[in-house]
Amino acid sequence: MTARDLRAACAPTTASVRDALEVVDRSATLVCLLVDDEMRLAGLLTDGDLRRAVLKGDGLDAPALDYATRSPHVVAAGSPRALVLDLMQALRISAVPELDDDGTVVNLHTLSDVVGSAPLPNVAVVMAGGRGTRLGELTRDTPKPLMTVAGRSILEWIVLGLVGDGIREVYVSVNYLAEQIEEHLGDGSRLGVAVRYLREDPDRPLGTAGSLTLLREQRPDLEHPVLVMNGDLMVEFDAAALLDAHRRTGATVTMATRTYQHEVPFGVVESSGGRVTGVSEKPTLSFDINAAVYAVEPRALAWLPEGRPSTMPGLVETCLERDERVTAWPIQSEWIDVGTPKDLARAKGEA
């Protein structure tokens, strides 16, 4: 929502019922936010609240704050769209204000904004077949993508994020404890998407890219780029923006990247021929790392080896060897590859 649209959905705390009705009418959000001079939220009125105020007979000049919900359900600034959608579905509400640490309204999410993205013609593939061995005992009886974060599995968060961006068809690659994943997601209807499965032979794991050969068999008719991502990522990104950037650059593969910085805990000595030329005290090194989210042209799937393990970085290398265009698309938001118990704790906000 733009700043102008947000302002249009707000009224001062001194507003009357009439004023709030005018806000609802002009903003088309079906809610009115009552805010102070600093845009701090004081209450929320729905169109239903306003109808009840009118029916009560107190008059249109009655204080709107008297009928408002003083502590409405809100989300913190920067919350991922999947979390907002989950809250709306769980509480059966259609609008959620987004507040910063001071209680200032920075956005207003409406159900039409969150799930109303235009459907994309692209399919997504979520790689969920790995054993998650680095998580030790945590994945002995539960596949890593079903680890729970904030009340939902990682896999559900991924699917909800894709749905919010317009993806309507998701293929999930399964192998280790596949039956649990299939039972958990089902056909995807409860999440607003069609979920289908790429089933690997348990004795012949195909790696992060090999299962795309199964997609090649199931969907030889693919005409649009395929969105591919790992099933153990907690990340907020705009799938439509990634696919649009992929289209504009004419790339065969577009890789999402994330900036990784590491501070060397020592002074680094620069020397040449035994002579010191400089000293950098605890320098910070910066790298662009693979964020494990890709847009892939369907024709590139033909270059994957049949029946043998292959990886997404290997596919990228194949493209480069063939002089195909590969581009990077930076992700600025929080990104967690849930590979270790420490990563899982961080995703849960426990570390």
Q: What angle do CA 172, 173, 178 make, to 5 degrees?
A: 95
204 pLDDT more than 80: yes
Domain ranges within the chain, ordered by starting residue: 3-115, 124-347
- Quick one: average pLDDT of 173-188? 93
Written as six digits, the tokens of 157 are: 């968060």
- Scored b (16 or more CB within 10 A) or e, 82-92 reads bbbbbbbbeee
Tell me, what's the pLDDT at 291? 94
Mean pLDDT value across the chain: 88
Q: Residue 185 in 3-state DSSP?
A: helix
120 or 337, greater pLDDT: 120
DSSP state, 63? B
- Quick one: average pLDDT of 103-109? 92
CATH superfamily of 3-115: CBS-domain (3.10.580.10)
Tracing tokens 């899982």 back to the chain, one arrives at 344
112 or 12, greater pLDDT: 12
pLDDT category of residue 198 using cuts at 50, 70 and 90: very high
Q: What is the pLDDT of residues 157-178, one digit of tens each?
A: 899 889 888 899 999 999 999 9
Q: What is the pLDDT of residues 32-56, one digit of tens each?
A: 999 999 999 999 998 788 878 877 7
116 pLDDT more than 60: no
Tell me, what's the pLDDT at 342? 76
CATH class for the region spanning 124-347: alpha beta
| Structural contact between residues 222 and 245, judged by C-beta atoms closer than 8 angstroms | no
Predicted TM-score (pTM) above 0.75? no
Least reliable range by pLDDT among 204-208, 276-280, 320-324, 342-346: 342-346
Other CB atoms within 10 Å distance of the CB of residue 218 = 13
Tracing tokens 């994943």 back to the chain, one arrives at 181
pLDDT category of residue 256 using cuts at 50, 70 and 90: very high
Q: Name the percent of the chain lying above pLDDT 90.
A: 56
Tracing tokens 């509400």 back to the chain, one arrives at 93
Q: Residue 318 in 3-state DSSP?
A: helix
Least reliable range by pLDDT among 39-53, 69-83, 189-203, 337-351: 337-351
Report CA-CA distances (Å) from 252 to 66, 256, 326. 58, 13, 6
Question: Residue 104 contacts by C-beta under 8 Å, 6 or more apart in sequence?
Answer: 38, 39, 40, 41
Other CB atoms within 10 Å distance of the CB of residue 147 = 21
107 pLDDT more than 80: yes
